[in-house]
Amino acid sequence: MIYREAGQFKTTYASDQAIFPILQDRVIVALAVAAAFVVPVALANEYWLQAVLIPFLIYALAALGLNLLTGYAGQLSLGTGGFMAVGAYAAFKITSAFPALNIVLVFLLSGVIAALVGVVFGLPSLRIKGFYLAVATLAAQFFLIWLFNKVAWFVNYAPSGTITAPPRTVFGVMVTGPDASAGARYVAALAFVAVFALVAKNLVRGRVGRSWMAIRDRDIAAEIIGVRPLRTKLLAFAISSFYCGIAGAELVFLYLGSAETLAFDINLSFLVLFMVIIGGLGSVLGSFLGAAFIVLVPIFLTNVPHTAGLALPVALQKQIELMVFGGLIVFFLIVEPHGLARLWQITKEKLRLWPFPH
Amino acid sequence: MRLRNVIVAALVLVLAAGPLATAAVAQGGSIFIPLLVYRTGPYAPSGIPNANGFQDYFNLLNERDGGINGVKIAVEECETQYDTKQGVECYERLKSKAVLINPYSTGITYQLIPKAPGDKVVVHSMGYGMTASADGRWFPWVFNFPMTYWSQASAFVRYVGAQEGGMEKLKGKKIVHIFHNSPYGKEANPTLETLAKQLGFELTLLAVDHPGQEQKATWLQVRKIEPHWIYLSGWGVMNGVAVKEAAGIGYKMDHMIGNWWSGSESDVIPAGDGAKGYKSMTFHAPGAGFKVHQDVIKHVYDKGKGATKKESLGEVYHNRGMINAMLNAEAIRTAMVKYNLKTAPTGEQVRWGFENLNLADAQLDKLGMKGVIRPLRVTCENHEGNGMAAVQQWDGKQWKIVSDWIEPMREVVRPKLEEAAVQEGGEKLKYVKRDCSKEK
């Protein structure tokens, strides 16, 4: 009843092509974003922010990046962890070389460096496709991690071989380093995600996104209608790696505080890929839903027996958690192979008909 | 379609309720000690005995003495799978109740070091973690007694020197360090490099990538180099593979020495008879022949409260867990005596207890730990304490101490450690150095 677009006439091209053509959507999204900035900072405790919301936002950004590449441009990549590591180590090197440089700029620059690396490793995509490309990007993953482990220059010759986020401020507020409050780090992560989600949404609706989808659906046909595969694929790799690079820098600077290469190992690449698949390939919203699923469900499963007063041994609990989590993934992929984003879409369709479904 | 609605509703509920469900169960009046354990995952064979050791010792204190100075201990385990991110999640969940934490992973320790001062939680990384944090002037909240990786490596060199018949005999000898390619594995490298320069032995560093199952190339190099001694800084499956490979190429096993994370039962049993003679460093005695073990059997196991089987008592990691628990408990006791407490101490008080821990032989004797570990004294400057290392050897059935207590080369290690502390604490974390003469 409330969710009805009747009476909303689109009289200009601009309004017809809006991201959220329905007024209710616009209001809800605007309120949600505003609430996201205000409510958690005011209400959530540090556990919520630090262990739940910040990793969720960072993984969402990484999933968004991979979704652009895999979901929209159809290039399967297992190098996400490696590209995130490039972003993290680049941010560390830049900010330790130029401490006065604003940390936001540092993040953006490290994203650019990750994008360049992504382009280099995207070159094989012109010749190899599908699973074979996945193997080629896997090489990127292993090579980059090996490189950061091997060359002490990347960690400023620290004997421990770890990188640590130094204290940096934005507008006078400490956002990185051990003294930065969880709230400040959360807002910083949220700001990045909000801006880049908007950019991504507009990218995929425009010429670039359409050419990506053309390549994804049938590259030969796309080539015939004038989409240049070289530029399109490399652009997809660049932009995807840019997102992943920023997410990687955030992972160290806003979430972990310090990290070694193990934080970016192959498991991270798989994790982000699972987020994209579960959330929905080729969907901006899906990246967020997938990240939420992968981050929140294990935490929920860990905490449920506790709250219920069940004193299970931790090992058993962990194993149950893994089984249930795995089971849930299989279950969701069976009932909705197109991911959680599709579930949301269906819900929306039904909401428009409610309460008179036909 | 019905099913779908249910799914959507359930999913929304799960996502929203997940973190809400973290309300901690407060235990009134007891000392809360969180345990980060890894009873599952690839490192579980090392993690399980360790966690059991902790449980058994704290249980013993509760059953035999009614806790520490009359205040009971409440422990809560949190499973990390030896994974850094899960460890951080555990810490965030438990820190509000905790006064101290044992991260039990060098990776997690690095995460917690910057957080600990703000949260007023003591980080005790016993024989692991960041070596530089032994400089208490820079790292007031971090402790790594009884010894650091660097002291350990210097003790190894001293032992090798003694075996060769004098430190000057090390000149021209070939020593290979095979290490896990992670911050943990690399820790010993700077010390070994310094000593190689000073004493004139030829050092070769061979990295093995995580997880360490693939070591064929490494051992091919070992064959080519034909080292006089091998030092192994491995972890988990890497150790077993290394011991097997060494036995496979017919290397003299008593010339291969692991660090103290490379010398447990699970590292040598898979290699069978080939492992006989393999040595490792340690800072405590193995075996169940001490009074504390009798106490544990009497007060814990005979009441059916044991964490494992009686036969597992005395395993290297079980003993290490017990010792870690004992050191935690004694530091808390020190704090409670100082502040004259009948209730659980605060984080700051516990920190004082750690910093002023003075564990004499008499107290160890009282605890039934005499002979298990050396007397220990921690100071404001020195968070590593005055621990000493020993060498233990696998005789095919059990680990046995085969050396005297070895004093690490503190005059070599300490200056390097202070240098690193300036870098790690001063430059990276922007800490301010404390003046220890002003501490009470």
Residue A287 falls within a domain, yes or no? no
CATH number of the CATH domain containing B35? 3.40.50.2300
Residue in chain A closest to B210 (alpha carbons) equals A262
Q: Which residues of A touch B193 (CB under 8 A)?
A: none
What is the pLDDT at residue B359? Answer: 93
Q: So what's the pLDDT on residue B25?
A: 42
The answer to the question of residue B261 being in a domain is yes
Find out whether A40 and A172 touch, Cβ atoms under 8 Å: no
Q: How far is B362 from chain A (nearest CA, A)?
A: 36
- The residue type of B78 is C
Backbone angles phi, psi at B231, to 5 degrees: -110, 130
Residue A225 sits at the chain B interface (C-beta within 8 Å): no
Q: What angle do CA A164, A110, A140 make, to 5 degrees?
A: 90
Please give the model's pTM, rounded to 2 decimal places. 0.87
For residue B274, what is the enclosing H or E element? none
Report if residue A277 sits inside a domain. Answer: no
Same domain for B226 and B291? no
A178 touches B: beta carbon within 8 Å: yes
* Residues 72-91 in B contacting A (C-alpha not used; CB under 8 Å): 77-79, 81, 84-85, 88-89
Residue B90 belongs to domain spanning? 27-147+287-377+422-438
Average pLDDT, chain A: 90
Q: Report the number of distinct structural domains present in chain A.
A: 1
Most confident of A172-176, A196-200, B209-213, B424-428: A196-200
CB B340 within 8 A of CB B90: no
pLDDT at A149: 87
Both B107 and B180 in one domain: the answer is no
List the domain range (segments joined by +) for residue A39.
Answer: 20-264
Q: Is B364 found in the same domain as B316? A: yes
pLDDT digits (tens, 9 = 90+) for B61-97: 999 999 999 999 999 999 998 888 889 889 988 988 8
What are the residues whose beta carbons fall under 8 Å from the beta carbon of B53, sequence distance 6 or more? Answer: B307, B317, B318, B319, B320, B321, B322, B323, B324, B325
In a domain, B87, yes or no: yes
Q: Which of residues 47-76 of A touch B (CB under 8 A)?
A: 47-48, 50-52, 55
Confidence bin at B26 (pLDDT 50/70/90): very low
Select from A144, A147, A169, A260 the residue whose CB has the most chain B CBs within 10 Å, as the one to mutate to test that interface: A260
B393 part of a folded domain? yes
**Nearest chain B residue (CA) to A177:** B429
CB < 8 Å to B429, chain A: 164, 177-178
Looking at the structure, tell me whether residues B114 and B201 fall in a common domain.
Answer: no
Q: Are residues B305 and B433 in the same domain?
A: yes
Q: State residue B7's pLDDT score.
A: 65
* H helix intervals, B249-360: 265-268, 291-296, 316-338, 347-355
Is residue A304 situated within a structural domain? no
The reply to whether B123 falls in a domain is yes
What total of structural domains would you count in chain B? 2
Establish if B214 belongs to a structural domain. yes
Are B316 and B433 found together in one domain?
Answer: yes
CA–CA gap between residue A26 and residue B214 (Å, rounded): 55
Nearest to A160 among B15, B114, B130 (CB): B130
* Residue B24's pLDDT band (cuts 50, 70, 90): very low
**Whether residue B355 sits in one domain with residue B247:** no
> Is residue A84 in some structural domain?
yes
Query: pLDDT digit string (tens) for A246-305?
Result: 999 999 999 988 888 888 989 999 999 999 999 999 999 999 999 999 999 888 888 887
Of the candidates B8, B14, B420, the beta carbon closest to that of A297 is on B14
Please give the Cα distance from A133 to A127 (Å, whole number). Answer: 9
pLDDT of residue B21: 47
Residues B57 and B114 in one domain: yes
**Domain-embedded: residue A347:** no
- Identify whether B412 is part of a domain: no
pLDDT of A196 higher than 80? yes
> Which residue, among B282, B172, B166, B157, has the nearest Cα to B231 in the 3D structure?
B157
Torsion sign over Cα B364, B369, B371, B374? negative
The span from the CA of A150 to the CA of B360, in Å, is 44
CB contact under 8 A, B39 and A343: no
HSE-up of B330 (CA within 13 Å, CB side)? 22
pLDDT of residue B13: 63
In angstroms, the separation between the Cα of residue A267 and the nearest Cα of chain B is 11
Residues B205, B61 within the same domain: no
State yes or no: pLDDT of B3 exceeds 80: no
pLDDT of residue A251: 94
What is the rounded radius of gyration, in angstroms, for the C-alpha atoms of chain A?
A: 21
Q: Are A91 and A249 in contact (CB under 8 A)?
A: yes
| Average of per-residue pLDDT values in chain B | 90
Q: Do A299 and B19 touch (CB under 8 A)?
A: yes
pLDDT digits (tens, 9 = 90+) for A2-53: 777 778 888 888 888 888 888 888 898 999 999 999 998 888 888 889 889 9
**What is the mean predicted confidence (pLDDT) over B25-42?**
81
User: A207-254 pLDDT, tens per residue?
Assistant: 999 999 999 999 899 999 999 999 999 999 999 999 999 999 999 999
Any domain includes A250: yes
Work out the pLDDT band at B329, boundaries 50, 70, 90: very high
Structure confidence by residue, pLDDT tens digits, B178-235: 999 888 888 899 999 999 999 999 999 999 988 888 899 999 999 999 999 999 999 9
Residue B198: closest CA among B168, B224, B164: B168
**Is residue B365 domain-resident?**
yes
Q: Is B234 in the same domain as B270? A: yes
- CB-based contact B23:A358 (threshold 8 Å): no
How far is Cα B343 from Cα B59, in angstroms, rounded to an integer? 18
Q: Chain A residue with minimal CA distance to B76? A: A314
Q: Does B43 lie in the same domain as B137?
A: yes
Q: Are residues B430 and B304 in the same domain?
A: yes
Yes or no, beta carbons of A160 and B186 under 8 Å apart: yes
pLDDT at residue B6 in the model:
66
Search chain B and give the residue with CA nearest A165: B428
Q: What is the mean pLDDT of residues A135-151?
A: 91
The residue with greater pLDDT, A302 or B109, is B109
Decide if A319 touches B, using CB distance below 8 A: yes
pLDDT at B23: 41
